[in-house]
């Protein structure tokens, strides 16, 4: 049996983009299908969808492949399934769209047309030649698609395999939603021989596993077997027993996850399934097959999972039979695990879970009695007399969005009404997990409001809930909650963004590091701007936390630390920025130099002057490169500081001379004043060096040639000391 192909997970920026795209596309599709064309909700949702497309973070164009479990972007998939991505994939798959490519320049009109075609029923599209033909003939542009050709997806048939099985394979590859009578007859025919049916089901699993998830595959197999069983003539009840027995033997050979999906399909309310199939399979599955199933699951999963517990309760509801089956399964598992010294402890935990599992901790005794009575009173669901409109209204109250909203409101209400501090503390893991899940679904606003309720308790020092609320905030700050919001922060409106900043500040300094690290790796400019704004809102606390980032092994994180330290500004940042002048990464060195220049205080210039005097050759060359490359007025005050304040020892002599020359190029009143200082400056113990420096200063004044510069030279010739007059005289009457 072939194993599913391993697909690499998406990088975080690509994963965030795919989530944003799926949510915006799904929202726009609903708006287009529900509202009249002129409704403002359509224009708003389409505009958001276009902006998401424009924010694609990678090179090239986004290309998506459609699979039953969701979308894959550039042949990679999300690390965790997402409801919005899965729903969009299902819409496309039902219309036989297998690949979607979004070209640059896609507009609101392009998406309006595409989503209007997507809103048409799959049968209607098929009747008009398929989605691709309708899209092309409608004038669709800048969104390329390829339709699924299921005949090409069928693998080469192994030698000896029945050609009639291809009709079953094809309907599985189409999603297993419907099986026509021809396919079901093929399955029913195979049930006449146990080995033949097992081979068919194994072949289906091998071919469909790469195209379908475990849940979808299990439901499709259940639907197929259920349909085949119903084809047995009612006037031949004796034929049904061997059919069901062979089905039970065949499915017992499937992987545990798939068998669990088959046995629990009717419990999940999958349309078109009845409990008859499950009851028949359970009643006819041999004890040896169940024991082998349990042992395989324990060996593969290293214990008893929740899926195994659920399946075992279905396969063997009677306690005595459970114990007998576990005895058989223990022998089988022991032979598979060999001489594992921990097997005894492992199997004891398995038995505790499988035999002792009970719902008493969740259901009261009185309610359990009522449940038992209800099970003993059969009722016919088909006898309902409620009109379709009322049924549809009731079903709407349990739709996914409604249930999610009710789930959220329940958590909010529990926080508000629970008075017992101990029980309120027990709610905190639920609250933090729910808030993180909301962020993962793109529902930032309810997530923020939920956390604000916890923050209010954490701020109330006199509240008995204060300590538990503060601990919950600490857990949130170290979880995916912060990075999840950071990756979607550009989608928040201004009011919500203001609330997010306020929430981050209330959560405190622990959130600064994940925000800064997200900023370091983020390529989208709108996200970067908002993250920087959020970090700057922390003030001095933020600067202290950002200082720690300069020790990060990631050079991008260190560069981000430099940018933030520059934005925080102030003398306090100078020591940290100065330490980054010796960083091993040249980009970090350059950013640190520019940040110190940006501070622009005498202490900042003194820091750079000291680095020029005593730093390594690489540091000196880097600083001088920034000072002398291009024409940036920000370096003029540094040149003036070096000329007027710095000494001439060591490497500063060459820097001093270069500063005189650069002031002559820039000019301006500060440059003239600094050059005047240099012209009169002298060192009696180094007459030749002094003469050279004075000549360079006079030449720079002559190059400036402004009235102020000429006045300095003329005054030096007229009233200056003898050696100053000698240096100024060649340049007093002309501009060089």
Please tell me the least confidently modeled range out of 305-314, 476-485, 713-722.
305-314
Residue, of 373 and 58, whose pLDDT is higher: 58
Q: What is the CATH number of the domain that holds 643?
A: 1.25.10
**Is residue 548 assigned to a domain?**
no
3-state secondary structure 228-245: HHHCCCCCCHHHHHHHHH
Q: Which domain holds residue 267?
A: 158-375
Per-residue confidence (pLDDT) for residue 51, from 0 to 100: 92
**Is residue 551 assigned to a domain?**
no
Closest-CA residue to 666 (of 692, 627, 712): 627
Q: Note whether 229 and 197 are same-domain residues.
A: yes
Q: Indicate the residue among 104, 129, 148 that finishes a domain.
A: 148
Q: Note whether 163 and 116 are same-domain residues.
A: no
Q: Note whether 166 and 294 are same-domain residues.
A: yes
Average pLDDT across the chain, whole number: 76
Q: Note whether 205 and 79 are same-domain residues.
A: no
**Is residue 601 assigned to a domain?**
no
- Mean pLDDT over residues 349-369, rounded? 59
**Is residue 558 assigned to a domain?**
no
Q: Note whether 128 and 172 are same-domain residues.
A: no
Per-residue confidence (pLDDT) for residue 481, from 0 to 100: 86
Per-residue confidence (pLDDT) for residue 53, from 0 to 100: 92
**Is residue 329 assigned to a domain?**
yes
Number of domains in the chain: 3
Q: Note whether 125 and 219 are same-domain residues.
A: no
Alpha helices in 55-193 (DSSP H): 83-94, 108-118, 122-127, 131-137, 150-153, 166-173, 181-190
Q: Note whether 195 and 61 are same-domain residues.
A: no
Grouping H, G, I as helix, E, B as strand and the rest as coil, residue 302 is: coil
**Is residue 310 assigned to a domain?**
yes
Q: Indicate the residue among 148, 170, 198 that finishes a domain.
A: 148
pTM for the whole structure = 0.36
Q: Indicate the residue among 315, 345, 375 that finishes a domain.
A: 375
Residue, of 661 and 548, whose pLDDT is higher: 661
Residue, of 364 and 1, whose pLDDT is higher: 364
Per-residue confidence (pLDDT) for residue 318, from 0 to 100: 75
Cβ 179 vs Cβ 136: under 8 Å: no
146 has pLDDT over 50:
yes
How far apart are the C-alpha atoms of 639 and 371, rounded to whole Å?
A: 87
Closest-CA residue to 324 (of 288, 285, 358): 288
Per-residue confidence (pLDDT) for residue 636, from 0 to 100: 81
Hey, CA dihedral for 695, 701, 704, 710, is it positive or negative?
negative
Which residue, chain included where needed, has tokens 């059919």? Answer: 243
How far apart are the C-alpha atoms of 455 and 503, rounded to whole Å?
A: 8
Cβ 527 vs Cβ 515: under 8 Å: no
Per-residue confidence (pLDDT) for residue 18, from 0 to 100: 92
Q: Give me the numbers of helices (H) and strands (E) for the chain, helices first please.
A: 40, 4
Per-residue confidence (pLDDT) for residue 575, from 0 to 100: 64
266 has pLDDT over 70:
no
Cβ neighbours of residue 433 closer than 8 Å, sequence gap 6 or more: none
Angstrom distances, CA of residue 641 to CA of 660, 682, 695: 11, 17, 19
Q: Note whether 141 and 175 are same-domain residues.
A: no
Give residue-wise pLDDT tens across range 95-126. Answer: 878 889 999 889 999 999 999 999 888 778 87
Cβ neighbours of residue 361 closer than 8 Å, sequence gap 6 or more: none
Tokens describing residue 261 = 């999906």
- Mean pLDDT over residues 521-532, rounded? 77
How far apart are the C-alpha atoms of 434 and 447, rounded to whole Å?
A: 8
Tokens describing residue 454 = 């916890």
- Mean pLDDT over residues 359-380, rounded? 49
Q: Note whether 212 and 310 are same-domain residues.
A: yes
Q: Note whether 635 and 719 are same-domain residues.
A: yes
Per-residue confidence (pLDDT) for residue 164, from 0 to 100: 60
Alpha-carbon Rg for the chain in angstroms: 37
Tokens describing residue 733 = 């009457």
Split at pLDDT 50, 70, 90, the class of 567 is low
Per-residue confidence (pLDDT) for residue 17, from 0 to 100: 92
**Is residue 38 assigned to a domain?**
yes
Q: Note whether 57 and 100 are same-domain residues.
A: yes
**Is residue 646 assigned to a domain?**
yes
Q: Note whether 141 and 207 are same-domain residues.
A: no
């Amino acid at each position: 049996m072939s194993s599913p192909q391993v697909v690499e997970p998406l990088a975080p920026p690509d994963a965030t983009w795919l989530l944003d795209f799926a949510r915006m596309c799904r929202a726009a599709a609903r708006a287009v299908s529900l509202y009249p064309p002129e409704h403002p909700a359509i224009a708003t949702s389409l505009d958001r969808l276009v902006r998401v497309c424009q924010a694609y973070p990678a090179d090239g164009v986004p290309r998506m492949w459609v699979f039953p479990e969701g979308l894959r972007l550039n042949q990679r998939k999300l690390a965790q399934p997402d409801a919005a991505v899965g729903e969009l994939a299902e819409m496309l798959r039902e219309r036989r769209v297998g690949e979607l490519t979004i070209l640059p320049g896609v507009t609101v009109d392009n998406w309006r047309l595409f989503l209007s075609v997507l809103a048409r029923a799959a049968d209607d599209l098929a009747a008009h030649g398929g989605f691709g033909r309708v899209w092309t003939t409608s004038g669709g542009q800048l969104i390329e698609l390829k339709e699924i050709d299921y005949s090409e997806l069928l693998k080469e048939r192994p030698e000896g395999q029945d050609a009639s099985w291809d009709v079953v394979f094809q309907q599985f590859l189409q999603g297993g939603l419907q099986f026509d009578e021809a396919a079901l007859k093929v399955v029913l025919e195979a049930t006449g021989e146990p080995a033949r049916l097992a081979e068919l089901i194994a072949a289906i699993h091998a071919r469909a596993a790469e195209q379908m998830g475990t849940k979808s595959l299990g439901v499709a197999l259940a639907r197929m077997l259920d349909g085949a069983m119903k084809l047995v003539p009612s006037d031949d009840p004796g034929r049904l027993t061997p059919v069901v027995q062979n089905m039970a033997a065949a499915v017992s050979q499937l992987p545990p996850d798939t068998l669990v999906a088959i046995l629990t399909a009717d419990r999940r309310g999958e349309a078109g399934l009845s409990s008859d199939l499950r009851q028949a399979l359970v009643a006819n599955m041999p004890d040896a097959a169940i024991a082998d199933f349990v042992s395989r699951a324990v060996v593969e999963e290293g214990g008893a999972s929740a899926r195994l517990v659920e399946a075992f309760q279905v396969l063997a509801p009677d306690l005595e039979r459970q114990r007998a089956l576990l005895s058989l399964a223990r022998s089988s598992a022991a032979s598979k695990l060999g001489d594992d010294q921990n097997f005894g402890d492992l199997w004891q935990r398995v038995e505790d879970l499988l035999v002792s599992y009970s719902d008493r901790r969740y259901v009261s005794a009185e309610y359990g009695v009522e449940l038992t009575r209800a099970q003993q009173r059969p009722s016919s669901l088909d006898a309902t007399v409620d009109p379709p409109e009322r049924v549809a209204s009731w079903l709407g109250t349990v739709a996914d969005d409604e249930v999610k909203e009710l789930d959220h409101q329940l958590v909010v209400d529990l926080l508000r009404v629970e008075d017992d501090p101990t029980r309120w503390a027990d709610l905190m893991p639920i609250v933090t997990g729910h808030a993180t899940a909301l962020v993962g679904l793109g529902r930032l606003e309810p997530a923020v409001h939920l956390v604000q309720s916890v923050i209010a308790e954490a701020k109330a020092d006199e509240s008995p809930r204060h300590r538990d609320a503060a601990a919950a905030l600490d857990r949130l700050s170290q979880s995916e909650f912060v990075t999840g919001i950071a990756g979607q922060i550009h989608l928040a409106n201004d009011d919500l963004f203001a609330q997010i900043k306020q929430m981050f500040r209330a959560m405190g300094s622990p959130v600064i590091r994940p925000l800064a690290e997200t900023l370091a790796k983020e390529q989208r400019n709108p996200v970067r701007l908002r993250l920087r704004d959020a970090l700057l809102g922390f003030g001095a606390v933020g600067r202290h936390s950002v200082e720690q980032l300069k020790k990060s092994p990631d050079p991008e994180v260190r560069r981000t630390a430099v940018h933030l330290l520059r934005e925080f500004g102030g003398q306090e940042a100078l020591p940290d920025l100065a330490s980054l002048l010796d960083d091993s990464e040249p980009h970090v060195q350059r950013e640190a130099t520019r940040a110190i220049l940006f501070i622009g205080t005498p202490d900042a210039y003194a820091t750079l002057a000291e680095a020029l005097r005593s730093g390594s050759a690489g540091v000196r060359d880097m600083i001088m490169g920034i000072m002398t490359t291009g024409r940036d007025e920000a370096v003029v005050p540094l040149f003036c500081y070096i000329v007027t304040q710095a000494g001439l020892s060591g490497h500063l002599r060459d820097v001093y001379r270069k500063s005189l020359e650069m002031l002559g190029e820039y000019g301006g009143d500060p440059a003239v004043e600094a050059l005047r200082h240099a012209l009169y400056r002298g060192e009696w113990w180094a007459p030749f060096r002094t003469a050279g420096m004075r000549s360079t200063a006079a030449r720079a004044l002559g190059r400036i040639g402004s009235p102020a510069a000429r006045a300095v030279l003329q005054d030096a010739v007229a009233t200056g000391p003898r050696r100053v007059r000698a240096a100024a005289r060649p340049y007093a009457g002309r501009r060089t």
